[in-house]
Every structure is written in structure tokens, then in C-alpha cells.
Structure 1
């Protein structure tokens, strides 16, 4: 078992306090708070997210589109809510099907926020978010994210923060329909929760144990005991 080294990423929506997971992060260099802590593998990227403000309304492309237009993998991801303040919420998909031109216009004037399906979350909630799902995250939570190795994000609305939007490509890949809940498994990874006294065996060439209480991530090379609430994540053979 090998513990992975975290990488700290500044975000405009980040937090000045990453405790208790990362109580002494390195000094930031760009003047922004840290919003993400990355643990990067060969085929999976594991993050802890610390939003104190809303993330942009966004969408990620699938593999075929991303390889053609971005020379990258697509991005399917999974969120596990580790901590949530009362009223913390996420948006997944649309409340009802919407026409593409109407969605584009709503992204430009901000009314897309009312079209999205917002739902309150609490610690322990899990969501699989396939490529093409329009989504957003509010502040006041900590989320563990498991995803394909990709950083291709198309912002559709960003609350006037001045960052680049990607309306054309975003709406080429967006699925403008309600979100359908799925198991936290897909063609790229599979994730299950393990208890503090369970033994975990490696199941594939790329295999991880994610400590939700400690913010630590281990690459599994042998059978281990979880020791805390954790996610066992692997790439299917």
C-alpha cells in the first residue's frame, strides 16, 4: 500500500480552511484560496473539493468529443458528500427537458439557474455524473470526487465572475434533460463504501482506498484494513 501525495489547487470559490483534512496546506502562490486537493493516478483523478461559494454551471464532454476537440479524455465523475452545512445543495440536470436555444439564452442571462434541478445534500450522499450532465455545486460542503483523468470543463454560467465561458462547445455536448440517478459504477471506475473494520483487497491494476475522515488516498498493492470510513475505488478490468 502506497500513500499518494496531495496537490493543492487554487480556486476562486475555494476555502481558507481545509481542516481537519488538510490543516497545514502550503502557502498559496496566486492569491486565491485552495478549492481542490488532487491525488492523480494513471487513469483516475481523485479530488477533495472545498467550495465556499457556488461553482460555475458546467458540463464535461465524453471521450469521443474530447479527443476530437481537446486532445483529451472526456470526464465522467462521481461525487461523495463528506460534509454539508444545512441547506447545502447541488444541481444535476434540468427540472424538465428544454430546447437547446432556450437553454443557451438562459445561460447568457443567468435564468439557467432556475431551470436546473437543485437538491439539498447531506454527508454520505453519492452521485454518479456522466459526461454530458449539466451540473453545479453550491458552497458549504466538502466533496470527494472520483473522475477520469481530464480537466476539460465547459462553463455555461459563472455568476459574472469574469472567467471564460464555453457556450458553443458546452451546448454541443450538454444533455438537456432531467438527471437519472445511477449506481456509482461506470465504464471507467467503480466505487463502493467500506466500513472501518473491513478488509479491502486490490481488484484491478489501478486500485485506491480513499479515507473520507482523513483526506488520505492510498494506492492498494495488498490487502489492508480500512481503519476509517472509506471509499474503495478501482478501474474495471
Structure 2
């Protein structure tokens, strides 16, 4: 009998100079003492907030439980595979790049940082910058950084609530103000800042320029139309299916059953992040866990089967590691 059960995570609020003092759209009860840019939900150091394992970090639990927690689809049995977090940009982030797997291994990291952003909300005119404009070379980017016009060479695109953005490792990018995003990424915190608008933070030009790819598969993910599940009252939509993660969104008005094993036969830890409403995560023989807006609940792979029962209605993202090899998604800028 496993000691694991559905885990309610304690958000870790991370101050950033581009963040906000107002988290009320997601965390109405959190009072900021400084600008908060990110709320980490499943980082290595994030801690469990319920049951006998309360106070334990995901790094500790991954080392202790291995594939019981992370599942057979994860690349490393002793490392939690995916980091999910909220982003709250009130000013522009630095122009930055994350390495892909190949570049990360060259500097001693186990893997790179490919990520995706779900736009939970966006004000009119909110934008992101994603990749170099066609024909722009790394050398031209380097020259533009030194002349303080790096953002002129990037693809700026408008974003709206409900968009899913795929950001492959090696893609130069930044966020503008006016949105709230849910990020899903490989478990890595390797970021190379290329340009930071004069803010007094370290830049990483040598490593960053080496990691930049002139062309990538990054962009807005082209998705099928949402489908109904369990009759006409529940809605499911595939947001992105990619080599490192699959993310779907659900809007439930009736209880829905889930499994930790996908059609490949491999199982994976399941991570749910609520963006609206409230529900209850239930698994046979285990204490129920409330999933409310801003919460993340982790269902260990060994749990096998579980359900989410809405308290009137709940909308959440569900992320996991695919058991089969998937291509990069189809995108557009």
C-alpha cells in the first residue's frame, strides 16, 4: 500500500522587479510586501500542504518515492519532471533564452527548458515577444543588444485569454505587461538574460547567444475545437501535446474520472492547477483534497484512478508527461 495520496501544494511566491503588488485575480487573500512575479507550484523546493507528508518538498518526495510519484513516463525517476507556476508581469521581463537539451548538457545540466504558457487572462493590447524576425541572425541580435534595440528584432504578437503559447528551448522571448499566465515547463531554472532594460541584474551574453536558435517551432498552438465530455455539462480541450508535456483544460459541472496511465501504457504524475471555481479531488481510500483557484494538486502516478467533483463548477489545467514520443506542436506566430 503506497504512502502517497493526492498532494495539495503550497504556492511559493517569488519576488521579481517586473512583478505586481496585486495578486487578487488569483490569490485574493495574499498581501504583497514587495512585487511578486511568479507563484511556483511544483518546483523542487515547493512543499506539500496536506496530510502526513505536509512540509516535505517535491525534491525530497521524488528521491524517496521515485516512480511511485513521478511515473514510468518521466525521464529521471528521482526528479519531479514538470514545473508549473503562475506569472504576473506588470512590466516587461528581460529579453531571455533557455537552452534546449543539447545545449544544457554541454554546460552540465541534465536537460534544457522548453515551456508553454496558458493565458489565464489578458488585458487589451497585451503582448509577448517570441523568436527572431525572419532573416535575423545571432550576430545581428548581439549587435542589437549592444545598441539597446534587441526587442526591435523580435516577433511581437498579441495574446488573448485562452491562448496557449509553445516556447521551445533556444527561443529568444520576453513578456509584456497586462496578462496572467500559467507556465508548464521542464524542471529547470536555467535562464540566460540577454537584455534587461537597464535593470541592475546580471546578463549572460556568452551562454545566452550560444543557446539562441534562429528558427524554432515556437508560437501560438493551433488546436482542435473544444469537446464535450460526460454528456453536455463538462468541457475538455487539448491545449498542447509536445515532447515533454501534455496540457489539457477542463471545465466541469459534473464529476469526472481520470487515470494516471495514458494510452501508451505508461503512467505519469498528474498536475492540476485551478484557474476558476472550486472542486474536490477524490481517490479510492484517500482523503479528499479541495482544488480552488490558484491551487495545484498533484496526483502521484501510483494512485492510478481519481476523480474531480466540482463544487458547482471548476476550471483547471491538467499536465502530465506523455508516455509516447510526441512531435512538437503545430504553431503560428
Question: Fold match, TM over 0.5?
Answer: yes
**Gaps (5+ residues) in structure 1?**
none
1:202 and 2:259 correspond? yes
3-state DSSP class of the match of 2:19?
Answer: strand
Rounded to whole Å, the distance in 2 between the matches of 1:121 and 1:159 is: 22
Instruction: Report if aligned partners of 1:98, 1:177 keep a CA contact under 8 Å in 2.
Output: no
Match of 1:18 in 2: 23
1:189 and 2:221 correspond? no
Match of 2:264 in 1: none
Runs of 4 or more consecutive aligned structure 1 residues displaced over 4 Å after TM superposition: none
Instruction: Report if aligned partners of 2:125, 2:158 keep a CA contact under 8 Å in 1.
Output: yes
Q: Of 113, 126, 140, which residue of structure 2 is paired with 1:102? A: 140
Matching of residues 83-94 of structure 1 within 5 Å:
83-94=121-132
Greater radius of gyration (CA):
2
1:223 and 2:306 correspond? yes
Rounded to whole Å, the distance in 2 between the matches of 1:206 and 1:20 is: 28
Rounded to whole Å, the distance in 2 between the matches of 1:179 and 1:54 is: 23
Question: What displacement does 1:129 show?
Answer: 0.7
Task: Name the TM-score, length of structure 2 as normaliser.
Answer: 0.66
What's the CA shift string for 1:114-166, capped at 9, x where partnerless? 11110111110101111011111001110000011111001111111121111
Task: Name the TM-score, length of structure 1 as normaliser.
Answer: 0.91
Instruction: Report if aligned partners of 1:208, 1:218 keep a CA contact under 8 Å in 2.
Output: yes
1:5 and 2:10 correspond? yes
Match of 2:87 in 1: 49
Match of 1:212 in 2: 275
Instruction: Report if aligned partners of 2:168, 2:216 keep a CA contact under 8 Å in 1.
Output: no
Matching of residues 26-175 of structure 1 within 5 Å:
28=33, 32-40=34-42, 42-175=80-213
Instruction: Report if aligned partners of 2:83, 2:185 keep a CA contact under 8 Å in 1.
Output: yes
3-state DSSP class of the match of 1:65?
Answer: helix
Higher relative contact order by CA 8 Å / sep ≥ 6: 1 or 2?
Answer: 1
